[in-house]
Amino acid sequence: MFKPGEEGHDELVPYYRECFIDRYDADFPVGLFVSIPDSKKKYNRWLVVDRANVNDPQFPTYEILRCDYVFQWIHKGGKYQMPGVLRSQNSYNSGIWRDYMITSVEDQQKFCVSLNRDTEHLFYNIRMLIDNRVETEPRSFQITKVNRIAPNGVARITLAQDNFDRHSDYVERDDDGRIMGMTSDPSMNSGPVSWK
């Protein structure tokens, strides 16, 4: 359980107050990451996404989800990345009608990330590549919904699948040819970018 008043944890409260409470009206510790060991004593990162029992302030518990993906995006020439929780939307829309005869089905996904100064720039129509690090063409998505409230401190983003664009979507590789990252930069004229 999180004990912000416990000895040794007081340094966390001013940081959280400035970056989460004052800025986003968040409720401690929503939006923070915690590391929890599994049965093999390997630590995994989890995201605190909500307070589990809002009506019982005496014995607070929290909802946490295991981070299972590192999201990467480009904003104003800078590359950003943030661990988060990928959730399946489990639904398909009817696609986009073209000439009233042909439709294309789009996969929908959702993810949760900590709301902070980097992720607050995730907004409608930003494109992201979300897929396993595969050698074939990765799946492209476009942000279609942004929810930064309920609860405050976490951003819940909905994505719709889009067509891969060979001119703006690219896969970065290291010197050995291993995939390091997958991003989409619609401007492609922003010059060199570096990870934030």
pLDDT at 101: 55
Question: Facing residues of 83 across strands?
Answer: 70
- Quick one: three-class SS letters along 84-128? EEEEEEEEECCCCCECCCECCCCEEEEEEEECCCCHHHCCCCCEE
The predicted pLDDT at position 115 comes to 93
Q: What residues form DSSP beta bridges with 129?
A: 140
Report pLDDT for 89.
Answer: 66
pLDDT reading at 105 higher than 80: no
Q: Say yes or no to pLDDT of 60 above 70.
A: yes
**pLDDT at residue 41 in the model:** 92
Q: Is the pLDDT of residue 155 over 90?
A: yes
Instruction: Collect all residues with Cβ–Cβ distance below 8 Å to 80 and sequence separation of at least 6.
Output: 72, 73, 74, 118, 119, 121, 195, 196
Handedness of CA 34, 153, 52, 28 (dihedral sign): positive
Cis before 29 (ω within 30): yes
Averaged pLDDT score across all residues of the chain: 78
35-39, 88-92, 111-115, 153-157: range with lowest mean pLDDT: 88-92
> Which of the residue ranges 17-21, 80-84, 88-92, 113-117 would you say has the lowest mean pLDDT?
88-92
Cα–Cα distance measured from residue 72 to residue 91, given in angstroms and rounded to the nearest whole number: 24
Cα(186)–Cα(59) distance, integer angstroms? 48
| pLDDT at res. 142 | 87
Task: Report which residue type is found at 60.
Answer: P
pLDDT confidence bin for 67, thresholds 50/70/90: very high
Q: pTM here? A: 0.76
